[in-house]
Chain A
Amino acid sequence: MKRWIAVVIVLVLLAVLATGCPKKAAAPSGEPVKVGLLVCETGAFSSYGLDNLNGALMFAEDCNAAGGVGGRPLELVVYNTESTPARAVAGARKLIADDKVVALVGLGMVSEASAAAPLVAGGPVTFVTCAAYQPENSMMFGAGVFVPLHHACICRWLAARGVTQFALLTTNDATGEVAEAGLRRNAGQSGLELSIVERMNPADVDASAQVARIAAAKPGALVVWVVGKPLGVALRAIKTAGLDVPVFTSHGNRSLEFLRSLAAIEPAEFYMPCPVDAVWESLPTAHPARAMNAGFSARYVKKFSKIPGAGSTDAYDALALLCQAFAAVGTDSAKVVAYLEAVKGYQGLAGTYDFSAENHRGLGPDDIMIARVRAGVLTPAD
């Protein structure tokens, strides 16, 4: 009996994951549908960029195995942005002028997306995977949950638990500026006070002074909005100082291997805002994202020998939406934009997409939740 249930589940998964592609399994043929991929394969954002690349490769494989896009093979043309806007612009130019791609996916950094925006204003359709970037022209769409919604989610959660003031430890760069502005704005709206902000250099090896100042301010919670190595440095300082408050961090740290390695210095209450694909194993069995992510995660681990990171589902969803549009209305940019703006209730790996002419970032506040981190494992905190 169990075997039959497993077979049915697998079949359902395959059907759901093939969304956006024709259902026939005949091998695709003819002129390929070329989509350009601009990802940070190296440089500061390479961890996220590699996730983007892997997610896109997974989709291309799934799509072509399921018959391609309207019977034509999907071809990805990949360029490395090296985590720099200059390389992103050069790559976008080449993809548009030389490779004649019908859409672009990627641009994982705000600076990359902003620099490439003027180039794509007249097409092709561009799905930006940077969660901190708000699409700034009609040809641009965004995958992932917009970062200010992460800040809003944290503030709502704190306010609901009676916290009145909290602290922020973030980096002394543009990421830190954006985090401070977002949290300050949302704190005000939630009736909270951001009582103290401390900064650290991403290359710092100690944050004792900053944490000591934060501890002196007696906050009700602490947001450590840094990504990667600085999180370890900050958590060690928090542990050494004995600061016992709920600690929140960015979902950019959603590398389970890294979080596991921090288990010894993990705060007693450690949280991060994240989309449903980060906690799919804890979702109710009936939740459609659970079945989709189960299949995706299993195949991802088999193919890349690692657990899917944040950027993989964003890229997968972006390509799935684009290919669904290509299959329905062809590759004309204006028609693709009109099609995508009409998409409502599309269930992707990272959440439920609802686009409109005004909203080119389909995921909203309902697609994000606070997850608790325990020895690298994320579970919904609510």
Chain B
Amino acid sequence: MAGLLTSAALGGLLAGSVFALVGLGVLLSATAIRTVNLAVGEFYVLGGLMFFSLVAAAGVPPLLAAPLAVAAGAGCGLLVERCAIRPVRLQPPGTIVLVTTAAAWMLRGTAQLAWGRDPVAPPALAGGQWAQAALVIGWAIAATVALEAWLSRSHPGRALRATADDPRAAAGAGVDTTGAARLAFALTGALLASSAVIAGPVTFLSYDGGVGLLLRGIGAALIGGMRRPLLVYLGGVAIGLVESMSAALWSSLYKDAVTFCLLLVVLCFWRGGDEP
């Protein structure tokens, strides 16, 4: 029994770390658009696939391919911000969600055309299953701490938060809201691409793999009230642990139902990271 619980806990922590990283991407882009960016899953997939191609097809060493893939992820974020988000950024949230949906479809189609339909396993940066798992868990914690500090203490981070709260008021106070949105999307792309480079060997990658991650990432971001990286991290880990523990202790058939029912209940009573 102890072995079963240990395996489930470690597996849940690993899966939860991936959900948390996607949730952090949702939070970051929400600072620019004040709603959910449904293309974050595709940012993750594209970053990972670019890393895979650089290493497997072009023969670039992994440690050199990783920053290149991250830079490409940032570029992808900038492209989406410039072409899809900027023209509608001050529109109602419903319009923006629709635009991000279209962007997600476009990115998914691009991935399908460029990399085909077969899934791939990108090369691991760490040798061995345990080392790889530790790298993913460590990266999720590091990204959370760095983002928490950056958003609350740095000038660009505070500008992002101000833009998220009220873009017109922020602009009136001298904040470059267009630049803040650009920065938010570049960071989202870079964060998710780096996450895919590290976690890709665990999650595996396929052109349509972003959708499944998105749902749980949004769950994590909602628990964090779309504001607090630390709460998003805890939300992601909680989702991973609930899924894993319900599969271990009760039934793997109903683990998704258990997780999302609990998530609904929590969101009914929990106001996340809302500040007074």
Q: Which residues of A contact B (CB under 8 A)?
A: 42, 44, 46-47, 50, 172, 198-213, 216, 228-229, 232-233, 236-237, 239-241, 255, 257-258, 261-262, 264-265
Task: Pick the interface stretch among B59-67, B91-99, B173-181, B205-213.
Answer: B205-213
- Quick check: A209 and B212 within 8 Å, CB to CB? no
| A201 CB contact (under 8 Å) in B118, B202, B209, B212 | B212
> Taking the nearest CB of chain B, how far is it from the CB of A55, in angstroms?
15
Q: Which 7 A-B pairs have the closest CB atoms?
A: A203-B212, A208-B11, A212-B7, A209-B248, A209-B8, A206-B15, A209-B247
Interface of B is mostly: helix
Q: List 26 A–B pairs whose Cβ atoms lie within 8 Å, in order of A's numbering.
A: A172-B253, A198-B247, A200-B252, A203-B211, A203-B212, A203-B213, A203-B215, A205-B15, A205-B199, A206-B12, A208-B10, A208-B12, A209-B11, A209-B12, A209-B252, A212-B7, A229-B119, A229-B204, A232-B121, A233-B202, A257-B118, A258-B118, A262-B121, A264-B121, A264-B124, A265-B121
- Quick check: A240 and B130 within 8 Å, CB to CB? yes
- Quick check: A205 and B118 within 8 Å, CB to CB? no
With A50-B117, A205-B203, A232-B121 as given contacts, are A212 and B212 in contact (CB-CB < 8 Å)? no
Interface of A is mostly: helix
CB neighbors of A among B223-259 (8 A): 240, 243-245, 247-248, 251-253, 255-256
- Quick check: B244 and A255 within 8 Å, CB to CB? no
- Quick check: A44 and B202 within 8 Å, CB to CB? no
> Taking the nearest CB of chain B, how far is it from the CB of A19, in angstroms?
30
| B256 CB contact (under 8 Å) in A44, A201, A228, A229 | A201
- Quick check: A207 and B11 within 8 Å, CB to CB? yes
Known: A42-B112, A261-B121. 13 other contacts (CB 8 A): A46-B112, A203-B212, A205-B199, A205-B203, A206-B12, A206-B240, A209-B4, A210-B247, A229-B119, A232-B121, A257-B118, A261-B120, A264-B121
Q: Which residues of A contact B10 (CB under 8 A)?
A: 208
Whole-angstrom CA separation of A16 from B96 in the bound complex: 58
- Quick check: B18 and A205 within 8 Å, CB to CB? yes
Q: Which of A211, A236, A237, A257 has the most CB of B within 10 A?
A: A236
Asked if B129 is an interface residue, CB under 8 A from chain A, the answer is yes
